[in-house]
Amino acid sequence: MKDLRFGRLKCYSLHLGILPLTVLVLVFFWKAYPQPRVLTPTRTDVLVLTPWLAPIIWEGTFDIDTLNEQFRLRNTTIGLTVFAVKKYVVFLKLFLETAEQHFMVGHKVIYYVFTDRPADVPQVPLGAGRRLVVLTVRNYTRWQDVSMHRMEVISHFSEQRFRHEVDYLVCADVDMKFRDHVGVEILSALFGTLHPGFYRSRRESFTYERRPQSQAYIPWDQGDFYYMGAFFGGSVVEVHHLTKACHQAMVEDQANGIEAVWHDESHLNKYLLYHKPTKVLSPEYMWDQQLLGWPSIMKKLRYVAVPKNHQAIRN
């Protein structure tokens, strides 16, 4: 009985020692955390909410420390898929190096590299909790076919593998680099990224597929935004639904002898029109400074195009 009382006394003393530290941490947290103001919008120069109440993610619209803590408590693992087929493998080293600097820093990440040249995949040092998986795929004569078959491959692996290994998937183009923070603020059930060439445009200017014969057809009087095919994602389940639907639509188009004007991107836009994304990423997350400069509305350029000769790379 005496030993039991002594054990309780030690436990009580330990709690008393931890209590001041806990209070100190909580006080610091609440002082450091800025209070949201209902009548004071974080940005007034841009649209921050879609008509279906999905947030549009710009710099200044989120608190990354709060979000990081939320996703760490969930023990989240993020998969990043990238296709480095044929000559595009030359972009892989810069892509991975900059991802290590800026992509989901502090979280568990699996890089899924799809390539027809596994021997050419560079050895890039990875941080703790991050690993690279090389998956071999076939190449195609036309770059358009390489691009379109991404949907089929991602759909297949989402069902067979990804759902067992990661919570979210981010699907990205390889001929890009991460220039600034890209973190858990982008994660949602389903997200798309505003095309940097059309974020100011009316829907009549969007380069949707306008031929009714195609499964990607969108009428002139429909459409919310124009989304870039180079950066999209969401939960594994939702990405599987998206990629499977786009692949099936492309197979049907092929059977009917038609190819959408912007290939898989056209089908992505059709899907996101009728399956609204739960988050929309601003053009900060997909930018080409060489073509578009750096307008003042862009507080940060996060994921940017690498200058290249498209003709030489694609051929």
| Residues with a known catalytic role | 265
| Of the candidates 163, 165, 185, the residue with the CA atom closest to the CA atom of residue 243 | 163
For the record, the structure tokens of 223 come out as 């459409």
Q: What is the rounded distance in angstroms from the CA atom of residue 284 to the CA atom of residue 194?
A: 9
Residues with Cβ within 8 Å of residue 163, at least 6 apart in sequence: 236, 237, 240
Q: Which amino acid belongs to residue 89?
A: V
Return left, alpha or beta for 246; rule: phi > 0 is left, psi -120 to 50 is alpha, else beta.
alpha
| Of the candidates 315, 234, 221, the residue with the CA atom closest to the CA atom of residue 273 | 221
User: Which run of H or of E encompasses 261?
Assistant: none
For the record, the structure tokens of 254 come out as 């092929």
For residue 248, report the phi and psi dihedrals to the nearest 5 degrees: -60, -40
Terminal Cα-to-Cα distance of the chain (whole angstroms) = 83
Cα separations in angstroms, 197 against 201, 278, 287, 292, 295 = 8, 22, 9, 8, 13
- Within 10 Å of residue 147's Cβ, how many Cβ atoms? 20
Q: Three-class SS of residue 31?
A: helix
Is 55 within 8 Å of 116 (Cβ atoms)?
no
